[in-house]
């Protein structure tokens, strides 16, 4: 059967005091040992608390602040890349519009002029 935290504390203290009373350890050694044990216990408790908090927060659907910051950075990168693409494609569209405006609407040769006249007269007669 596993010891409860309270029983573990009392058992550890009893062991140290027995060693102290038997002369196996000096009071300074016992104090140093108790400090070391307390630090180890505190680290263990902190680790268990962190695990429980992380599991609970994950179940609730929350994310860590670091993950959120990484997500914001990624979105910013994608948005800036999208803006660059939009600007470059808008620039190429403007060029094609300018190029099409250079095309004259008047026929440049006599053959083209005759075909334009034929088309207009056919439409008018219909």
Residues 2, 57, single domain; the answer is yes
Residues 69, 40, single domain; the answer is no
User: Is residue 97 assigned to a domain?
Assistant: yes
Count of domains for the chain: 2
Condensed to tens digits (0 to 9), the pLDDT of residues 62-80 reads 888 999 999 999 999 999 9
| Composition of the chain by helix, strand, coil, percent to 5 | 85, 0, 15
User: Is residue 119 assigned to a domain?
Assistant: no
User: Is residue 75 assigned to a domain?
Assistant: yes
- Pick 35 or 100 by higher pLDDT: 35
User: Is residue 84 assigned to a domain?
Assistant: yes
Condensed to tens digits (0 to 9), the pLDDT of residues 85-98 reads 777 776 665 555 55
Q: Tell me which residue range forms the domain holding 19.
A: 1-62
User: Is residue 110 assigned to a domain?
Assistant: no
pTM: 0.42
Count how many Cα atoms sit within 13 Å of the Cα of residue 90 in the half-sphere of its side chain. 6
Between CA 105 and CA 22 the distance in angstroms is: 114
pLDDT the model gives residue 77: 93
Asked if 6 contacts 31 with a C-beta cutoff of 8 angstroms, the reply is no
Residues 20, 69, single domain; the answer is no
- SS3 for 125? helix
């Amino acid at each position: 059967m596993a010891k409860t935290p309270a029983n573990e504390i009392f058992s550890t203290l009893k062991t140290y005091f027995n060693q102290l009373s038997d002369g196996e350890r000096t009071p300074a050694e016992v104090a140093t040992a108790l400090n070391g044990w307390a630090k180890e216990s505190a680290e263990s408790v902190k680790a268990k608390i962190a695990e429980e908090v992380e599991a609970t927060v994950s179940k609730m659907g929350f994310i860590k602040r670091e993950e959120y910051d990484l997500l914001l950075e990624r979105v910013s990168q994608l948005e800036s890349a999208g803006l660059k693409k939009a600007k470059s494609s808008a620039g190429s569209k403007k060029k094609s519009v300018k190029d099409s405006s250079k095309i004259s609407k008047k026929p440049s040769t006599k053959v083209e002029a005759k075909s334009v006249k034929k088309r207009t007269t056919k439409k008018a007669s219909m």
